[in-house]
Structure 1
Amino acid sequence: MSDAPSRPPRLASLAVRPVKSLRGVEVERVALDRLGPRGDRRWMVVGPDGATVTARQVPAMLGLTARPVDGGVELTAPGRVPLVVHEPRAGRRVPVTLSRVGEATACAAEADAWLSEALALAVRLVWLDDPARRSVSPDHGGRPGDPLSFADAAPVLLTTTASLDALNGWLAHERGHPPLPMERFRPTLVVDGDLEPFAEDRWARVRVGDAVLRFAERCDRCVMTTVDLDTLRTGTEPTRTLARHRREDGKVWFGVRLVPEQVGELVVGAPVVPLT
């Protein structure tokens, strides 16, 4: 029996992704409100008709980075001059097709031009001016009053290093595949410590520092996880291996979606305590 002390769960990393489907940045601390980390997914790329454009259809979006700045967001890409886009509080409303939104605020034309050139595709950038407009669907564990940004289904996605270690073990043993980085799964919160793989699936609530989040549902994974973040090419992993070990109801699962119940400040290194 090992005499090594156990490692209690802690917040190992924390990410904010201001623009839906663009890469975000890791931060050491951020305020958590009912929408998730402050500023997370308040911006979205749409086509000329208002239809949401994501990295599912355009993997090149994962080659662009959005960083929160005071009153806006900074867009960067290799070989391009960065652009700071300010919140368009006086902008005009435009229709968008993302479920339960209806309309958003158009950004400056220079943001549209920057993104269109970077993606070689005619697109526009919009901002969620009224966070109360959209809510978490009951189909995804939402309750009355649960607000939702431009995120797919819930304000927060949590994963654990124990679960990724298990997946990477399967990949190495069964496929001879190199380990995948956690960023493939785009988590908000990554928890480290002595945990069983996929223990998070069974957490009804979790306290992170002084914040409390409620389990909404397990996260079903889409083609975005198969995009290599260096080459931006789409492959078969981790979907193929998850389908062997984590397939249920015709979907594959990794991570859990959470809804904030008690807001607070999130800080890397904070204790993480599963609650009943």
Structure 2
Amino acid sequence: MATVTHLTYYPVKGCAGVPVAEAQLAPAGLAHDRSFMVVSEEGVFRTQRRDPQLAGIQPEIDPAGDQLALHAPGHGTVRIPVNASGPARPVDLFGTAYRGIDQGDTVAGWLSQMLGAPSRLVRVPPDHDRVTDGRTPGTSGYADSCALHIVSRATLDELNRRLAEHGAAPLPMSRFRPNIVIDGWAAPHTEDRAQLLTLGAAELGYAKLAIRCAVTMVDQETGARSGPEPLRTLAGYRRAAEGGVAFGTKFAVLRPGKVSVGDEVVVGRWGESEL
């Protein structure tokens, strides 16, 4: 039987994740997932691709989403009331224009000092109407694309087996920043073929493979970046037709609901892998 073994949401895009035992799954993903984003003064999003030290920022948000705290070793903690309804400013995510509610000068100053570059923090506005792509369209906050990223334990085990063959150290699941980890599938990359999933009270539809980038080379505990693993090994057996390498799968939310660690994962429909 396949089950959910880990649930993680990422309140601030690019920053550390928050593991939870249970969560409400909304149309845009786990509650508060990628609701906030660090941007330059010009509104362009910051990412671990260019600012790996984002990984060292540990967010904490209260269940109602009214209070946000950011902590980083050596930089202390900043706490702010969340502005969820103020005027929105233009922001840029992968060249696409969105809008974000600026969270003020206090957190902006803290982030600018921590990252060593002028930065602001924005929140998804109430009228955020993003439509995501893939076989099953959906929505999300400031995630790279779809609402949910799922990786199975068998998929990581296969990568670590291949890394060992190359004399490389195994990698933790956190390196790939999934929202949901599933265990119990014997074959790696089973998530690639699952077209319809039910877990807890929620139902998910397959959107697309997750194409990986340089963020996978960032140690999520320290913010240190090194290479060429895991991209070198993945390129040997997971190269996607459209370019890049695939690891894990993106899903859209078809039916919101509560999801908990330990929930059985039921596949309602299988398909062929796009790889």
- Any residues of structure 2 matched to 1:165-176 within 5 Å, and which? 165-173=157-165, 175-176=166-167
- State the alpha-carbon separation in 2 of the partners of residues 101 and 213 from structure 1: 27
What corresponds to 2:87 in structure 1?
92
Q: Deviations over 1:217-271 (max 9, x none)?
A: 0100000001123441231111000000111222201000000101111101111
- State the alpha-carbon separation in 1 of the partners of residues 29 and 248 from structure 2: 16
Pair 1:43-2:36 in alignment = yes
Which structure shows the bigger proportion of residues in strand conformation?
A: 2
Pair 1:136-2:132 in alignment = yes
Question: Taking structure 1 as reference, are residues 131 and 254 closer, same or farther at Cα in structure 2, changes over 3 Å only?
Answer: farther
- Any residues of structure 2 matched to 1:257-272 within 5 Å, and which? 257-272=250-265
- Which stretch of the first structure deviates more once superposed, 177-186 or 223-232? 223-232
Q: Deviations over 1:124-182 (max 9, x none)?
A: 00001125421113xx3353xx2221001100000000000000000001x11111000
- Which stretch of the first structure deviates more once superposed, 69-78 or 55-64? 69-78
Pair 1:157-2:157 in alignment = no
Q: Deviations over 1:60-97 (max 9, x none)?
A: 11111112224132211112322223221343321112
**SS in structure 2 of the partner of residue 216 of structure 1:** strand
What corresponds to 2:211 in structure 1?
220
Unmatched runs of 5 consecutive residues or more in structure 2: 270-275
Q: Give the C-alpha shift of residue 100 in structure 1.
A: 4.9
What corresponds to 2:273 in structure 1?
none
**AA matched with 2:135:** G
TM-score normalised per structure 2: 0.92
Q: Give the C-alpha shift of residue 28 in structure 1.
A: 0.6
Q: How many residues align?
A: 264
Question: Taking structure 1 as reference, are residues 126 and 10 closer, same or farther at Cα in structure 2, changes over 3 Å only?
Answer: same
Instruction: Kindly indicate whether the alpha-carbon contact (under 8 Å) linking 1:105 and 1:128 is maintained by their aligned counterparts in 2.
Output: yes
**SS in structure 1 of the partner of residue 106 of structure 2:** helix
Question: Taking structure 1 as reference, are residues 198 and 149 closer, same or farther at Cα in structure 2, changes over 3 Å only?
Answer: same
**SS in structure 1 of the partner of residue 12 of structure 2:** coil
Instruction: Kindly indicate whether the alpha-carbon contact (under 8 Å) linking 1:16 and 1:188 is maintained by their aligned counterparts in 2.
Output: yes
- State the alpha-carbon separation in 2 of the partners of residues 90 and 204 from structure 1: 37
- State the alpha-carbon separation in 2 of the partners of residues 257 and 126 from structure 1: 24
TM-score normalised per structure 1: 0.91
- Any residues of structure 2 matched to 1:192-271 within 5 Å, and which? 192-231=183-222, 232-249=224-241, 250-271=243-264
What corresponds to 1:3 in structure 2?
none
- Which stretch of the first structure deviates more once superposed, 124-133 or 111-120? 124-133
Q: Give the C-alpha shift of residue 194 in structure 1.
A: 3.6
- State the alpha-carbon separation in 1 of the partners of residues 153 and 203 from structure 2: 20
What corresponds to 2:116 in structure 1?
120
- State the alpha-carbon separation in 2 of the partners of residues 131 and 204 from structure 1: 29
- Any residues of structure 2 matched to 1:23-62 within 5 Å, and which? 23-62=16-55
**AA matched with 1:266:** V
